[in-house]
Structure 1
Amino acid sequence: MPILVVASGNPHKVAEIGAMLELVELDVLPQPPGLDIEETGATYLANARLKAEAVARITGHWALADDSGIEVDALDGAPGVFSARYAPTDHERIHRLLKELGDSLYRGASFRSAMALADPSGTTRAEAEGICRGQILRAPQGHGPGYDSLFYVREAGCSYALMGPHLKAKLGSRGKAARALAPKLLRLLELSK
């Protein structure tokens, strides 16, 4: 069975991507412990490439990386690629975002994800992006990592934090990126004819 390493130190992201791939005959592994790839890219796709290529070279296996963030329309797309570095903790990130948005009635936002697949030599062979539109709530709804509790998805009728795995795979930005990447992944890893 082919090995695919998820190039992330984030256990939530590894679990979500692993769940999306559970029907594929792959041995999905997390990246080696203690590995931290600096995200120096200017875009989500550039950061996904950096992580996938580095982890593939280090492990000698196919590697799949994701970079994602939230873009708030009224904040000119902030925090964007700096979503994870917007503040030290999830609680502080949520508080900062709500403070900066204030009482604005314009609360439209997007979760955006990019995925890159690198071969064992560290060369990116496929990439894809996904977007989930929603709006920023005035207070958290549910509990989840990152900005999930603040991001309301109209099609789901709830916050991202309250969406189950099936809805996240269908409506979420990472799920959309994974679906776009899936045919290439299956072909490149010779899992389909």
Structure 2
Amino acid sequence: MKKLIVATGNPGKLTEMQKYLTDLPWQLALKPAELDIDETGTTFIANARLKAGEVARALGEWAIADDSGLAVDALDGAPGIYSARYGKTDQERIDRLLRELGDTHNRQAKFICAIAIASPDGKIVLETEGICPGEILTSSQGNGGFGYDPIFYVPSAQQTFAQMSPSTKGKISHRGIAFAQLMPDLQKLSSGKSI
């Protein structure tokens, strides 16, 4: 089995990635806590590349990183790469977003997930971006999920992320889409074929 370092200190993200990569011969491990990467990119893909490349180089191992967040049309793409830093708690982030949107009629938004994989020398060998379009509700619905899930409504599913079963969310979410796009090349990579 090949080792794949997940460029995060978040065990939840490691568990989530394991679900998507279950059929591949990769053994996932968290990056060491003391290895800190500054997310200085201005886009999700730039931050994913930065984290994967730096972790791979520092450890001499394959590395995978993702960067994701919510982009709201009426707020010119905010909170964007600052989605996790939009408030101290999930509720504060939701409250701030709803306050800034006010009674705006344009509630269009999208969740974006960028994923990058780097070889042990830090070279980015795979990358993709998954997008799940939706809209922002005026109040929370559903008890599942985290972050902005209770106010992110997906018209095609007629549910918020917080109302969906984990398997439904896993398929139609931005992260699910990104991993689905990545899988064919990831399978080639894990069997030693060139991409």
The answer to whether TM tops 0.5 is yes
Q: Deviation of residue 93 (structure 1)? A: 1.0
Match of 1:172 in 2: 173
CA RMSD of aligned residues (A): 1.8
Q: Are 1:88 and 2:77 matched, yes or no? A: no
Deviations 1:65-102 (A, max 9, x none): 11111011111111111111222222211110010011
Q: Deviation of residue 191 (structure 1)? A: 5.9
TM-score norm. by structure 1 comes to 0.92
Kept in 2, the 8 Å contact 1:117–1:185? The answer is no
Match of 1:116 in 2: 116
Percentage identity across paired residues of the two chains = 51
Q: Which amino acid aligns with 2:30?
A: P
Please give the alpha-carbon distance, in whole angstroms, between the structure 2 residues aligned to 1:13 and 1:149.
Answer: 19
Match of 1:60 in 2: 60
Please give the alpha-carbon distance, in whole angstroms, between the structure 2 residues aligned to 1:23 and 1:131.
Answer: 23
Match of 2:135 in 1: 135
Match of 2:104 in 1: 104
Structure 2 segments unaligned to the other structure (5+ residues): none
SS in 1 for 2:150: helix
Q: Deviation of residue 115 (structure 1)? A: 0.5
Match of 1:126 in 2: 126
Kept in 1, the 8 Å contact 2:14–2:28? The answer is no
Kept in 1, the 8 Å contact 2:8–2:65? The answer is yes
C-alpha change, 1:8 and 1:163, in structure 2 (3 Å) is farther
Match of 1:153 in 2: 154
Please give the alpha-carbon distance, in whole angstroms, between the structure 2 residues aligned to 1:192 and 1:136.
Answer: 42
Please give the alpha-carbon distance, in whole angstroms, between the structure 2 residues aligned to 1:57 and 1:165.
Answer: 34
Q: Deviation of residue 153 (structure 1)? A: 1.3
How many pairs does the alignment contain? 193
TM-score norm. by structure 2 comes to 0.91
Please give the alpha-carbon distance, in whole angstroms, between the structure 2 residues aligned to 1:16 and 1:74.
Answer: 30
Kept in 2, the 8 Å contact 1:152–1:160? The answer is yes
Kept in 1, the 8 Å contact 2:144–2:161? The answer is no
Match of 1:183 in 2: 184
Q: Are 1:8 and 2:12 matched, yes or no? A: no
Please give the alpha-carbon distance, in whole angstroms, between the structure 1 residues aligned to 2:170 and 2:192.
Answer: 21
